[in-house]
Structure 1
Amino acid sequence: MRHLTRQFAVGALRRGNGIEQFLGGAQIDGEPVIRWVEISPGDGRYRISVHTVQDPDDGQVGDLPNLMSVDPVDEEYAGEGRELGVTEDEVEAMSLAERLAGARPDRWVNHAVVGEEYRDYVRSRREDVRTAT
């Protein structure tokens, strides 16, 4: 089970470890993209950012921050995402991410695990296509 309980997610942030959540796929100008939200601790604060990148549709890809961003805000600082907010409280950071990015309370993972969530997403799309034919 890779998803963190609320208590474990808060604990990770308090220990200085980031958490993130895969938000799924979307279309921007007819192009497939994927999105995830991240909470990064630093200097006693928690930065909430959302990432929107091109969807390579590749089940081998796991390092999502290295994918091409489609958000102009992220072009100058690749991999940092669009900042949604900053707070000094880890519970408030999670609530902000859930409210502003549509994150779910039961889907948080440790930092760098969101790539596994993406690989599952690609596999499930391919299985859906196979079962539909």
Structure 2
Amino acid sequence: MRYLPMSLALGALRRGRGIEQLLGGFEEEGRRGVKHALIFPAPRGLCYVMCTAVEDTAELDRHGGLLYPSDDAFYPEDANREGTRPVGSAPTPEGAIELAERELDADPRLWVNLGMLGYEYRDFVERGRPLGRWKPS
């Protein structure tokens, strides 16, 4: 079972573990990219929601399909060159998931534990790197 039922996604956040989700592929100015969302808890119960966009290149494939910020950032002009932008924060895990749904069109059924996104990316590649919202088969 790769995807977390809502109770397990919330439980992970409450235990101080992040969750993430592949959002989908996009094309901009002739370049292909892929976005993913990350929710990570901080001390005192606050949860941060982030969105990362990386260039979808063969370089990602060589690194086992890991979609973590690197020099493959789609927007390298970002101050940290990671392509990550903060979406916002919420005082509860429920609020953070709702924020990701509202702002990033995240699907509440497709959250995975932190570190499992590489498997999602491999499925994405096998399906031909489709543009648009990620919908696993």
Q: Same fold by TM-score, threshold 0.5 exceeded? A: yes
| Residue in structure 2 matched with residue 12 of structure 1 by the alignment | 12
Q: Tell me how far apart the structure 2 counterparts of residues 3 and 124 of structure 1 sit (CA, whole Å).
A: 18
Following superposition, the deviation at residue 88 of structure 1 comes to 1.4
Counterpart check, 1:68 vs 2:68: no
Q: Secondary structure at the match of 1:9?
A: helix
8 Å contact from structure 2 (residues 35, 51) kept in 1:
yes
8 Å contact from structure 1 (residues 49, 80) kept in 2:
no
Q: Tell me how far apart the structure 2 counterparts of residues 31 and 7 of structure 1 sit (CA, whole Å).
A: 37
| Residue in structure 1 matched with residue 109 of structure 2 by the alignment | 106
Q: Tell me how far apart the structure 1 counterparts of residues 114 and 53 of structure 2 sit (CA, whole Å).
A: 17
Structure 1 portions without partners, runs of 5+:
127-133
Alpha carbons of 1:19 and 1:78: their partners in 2 closer, same or farther (altered >3 Å)?
A: farther
| Residue in structure 2 matched with residue 52 of structure 1 by the alignment | 53
Map Cα deviations across residues 68-120 of structure 1 (whole Å, 9 max, x no partner).
112357x3224471100011100000000011001001000001111110111
Please identify the structure whose Cα radius of gyration is greater: 1
| Residue in structure 2 matched with residue 117 of structure 1 by the alignment | 120
Q: Percent identity?
A: 35
Taking only aligned residues, the RMSD between alpha carbons, in angstroms, comes to: 1.9
Structure 2 portions without partners, runs of 5+:
130-137
Q: TM-score, normalised by structure 1?
A: 0.85
Residues 23-34 of structure 1: pairs in structure 2 closer than 5 A = 23-34=23-34
Q: Tell me how far apart the structure 1 counterparts of residues 41 and 14 of structure 2 sit (CA, whole Å).
A: 8
Q: Secondary structure at the match of 1:125?
A: coil
